[in-house]
Amino acid sequence: METTANIHSVTLGTGHSIYTSTLLPAIEAAQHSVILVTCFWARSQTLDALNESLLKLSSSALQRSDGKKIKVRIGFSSSSLFQKLFHTSSASGQIYPPSQWTSKLGLLSQEDLGGLDLQIKSQFFLPFSVWHPKFVIIDRKRVFLPSCNVSWEDWFEGCVEFTGPIVQDFLKFWRQKWGGGEGQLGEVEGVGQVEDGDVGDGLRSNDVPCKFLPSAHHRNPNFRLPWQQCAPPPTTTLNLELQRLFADAKKEIFLQTPNVTSPPVLNALVEALKRGVDVKITTSERLMILEQLVTAGTTTARCMRWLIKRHQVLSKRGPDEEAGLIKPGRLHISYYQPKVVTQSSISGGAEPVQSHFKLTVIDQHAIVFGSGNMDRASWYTSQELGVGFYSNGLVAKTLEKLETALEGRKKLLYDSEGK
């Protein structure tokens, strides 16, 4: 169902820089409530910085005359292999008592955070059903949708900030998927609709049409033997919208994604190339190889070689008379690579060594941000969350900013037109 959003900013950098420059200042400024959901939770500089911000938030609450605590809800899925192997199978997940905040999670103690009504919960279902979304909701009116986790990796990441009617979809998603069930975290009270401040980075757009795109987790990975046809992907809102966008593309598909191992994605790209649609991909050559082999039985590098061969076969055949003499679309594939520098020009800190940003753009009009990758895990087993925005202006500004940030950070693998 379509709704609207007011876009405030798109931030690019490492996970740590996005937290310190964008997410943590927003958390520190919260007046009533903070909801923070991340997939991976690890002791790191980002976690240290989050602790400092929670301490500041607690101090602010304690100084208020009304005596009300600020409600903070934290949700995550994975913190270690041991945690996942022994995680509860209950649909309501695991809530961590204050006695475990410091020892298991690396957070400050309840005594240090006396101004906060803080509760922490994890969700994971064996064998592969990680809950992959990442989002932050401030005072029930302001949402940040980053690609990064609370973790230590120096990866290239992105984050979009927005307000408006779509925030209600995020709150409903939180209550249904993260806040309910036995021992529920409860509905976080807030302040309702508040006038938006004049914040942003020049990308601000109001009343942008958009769609809230959740994707439920599935415990059955639906694996097939190599000679068998792949199982159809689950008919989640996110999967269906991406499939529609791929099928409706007329001119160009652009993907930036950590990995590309999902058979439905690869098949959709081949079909688009057959229709004369240009396909441009920026991905990673060697990111989480073991995870790719376990969840997909292949790697991004293999899949990119397969896609290149399919394109070369299409090109040798020439125009398809039955399709109206359509020349196959241009295929352009690049691998992300870090700059050979000591300081990053986009983050002011460590140079991003891999790309973890997830972005889909169709025909310079539709753009999808969120947690979903173009790999088999995101399409078949993981819980994911994305938002599709439909705005030529937002697409143009985002791609311009991304191209600047990626200058000197791409290695060409294949360009069918040799340009």
- The dihedral built from the CA positions of residue 306, 312, 318 and 324, taken in this order, carries a sign that is positive
Per-residue pLDDT band for 218 (boundaries 50, 70, 90) equals low
Say what percent of the chain tops pLDDT 70: 83
pLDDT (average), residues 372-382: 88
> What per-residue confidence (pLDDT) applies to 85?
65
Rounded Cα distance, 100 and 98, in Å: 5
> What per-residue confidence (pLDDT) applies to 260?
94
Rounded Cα distance, 240 and 101, in Å: 39
pLDDT (average), residues 9-29: 97
> What per-residue confidence (pLDDT) applies to 355?
95
> What per-residue confidence (pLDDT) applies to 65?
84
Report residue 212 as tokens: 């809230």
Query: What 8-state DSSP symbol labels residue 100?
Result: G
Per-residue pLDDT band for 140 (boundaries 50, 70, 90) equals very high
Domains along the sequence of the chain with CATH: 2-208 (3.30.870.10), 213-415 (3.30.870.10)
Q: What is the pLDDT of residues 115-137, one digit of tens each?
A: 999 999 998 776 656 788 999 99
Alpha helices in 39-166 (DSSP H): 45-62, 81-85, 101-105
Contact 392, 364 (CB under 8 A): yes
Contact 170, 139 (CB under 8 A): no
Top mean-pLDDT range of 78-82, 83-87, 232-236, 359-363: 359-363
Q: What is the pLDDT of residues 403-412, one digit of tens each?
A: 999 999 999 9
> What per-residue confidence (pLDDT) applies to 184?
43
Mean pLDDT of the chain: 87
pLDDT (average), residues 30-49: 95
Q: What is the pLDDT of residues 264-291, one digit of tens each?
A: 999 999 999 999 999 999 999 887 777 7
> What per-residue confidence (pLDDT) applies to 183?
39
Per-residue pLDDT band for 234 (boundaries 50, 70, 90) equals confident
Q: What is the pLDDT of residues 57-90, one digit of tens each?
A: 999 999 998 889 999 999 998 766 656 666 777 7
> What per-residue confidence (pLDDT) applies to 93?
80
Rounded Cα distance, 352 and 343, in Å: 10
Integer Rg of the chain from CA: 22
Residues 6+ apart with CB under 8 A from 244: none
> What per-residue confidence (pLDDT) applies to 77?
87
User: Does the structure show a pLDDT above 60 at 225?
Assistant: no
Contact 212, 173 (CB under 8 A): yes
Per-residue pLDDT band for 182 (boundaries 50, 70, 90) equals very low
Ranges 203-212, 221-230, 263-272, 357-366: which has the least confidence: 221-230
pLDDT (average), residues 355-366: 96
pTM above threshold 0.85 = yes
Per-residue pLDDT band for 188 (boundaries 50, 70, 90) equals very low
> What per-residue confidence (pLDDT) applies to 297?
74
> What per-residue confidence (pLDDT) applies to 197?
42
Residues 6+ apart with CB under 8 A from 49: 16, 19, 20, 24
User: Does the structure show a pLDDT above 50 at 23?
Assistant: yes
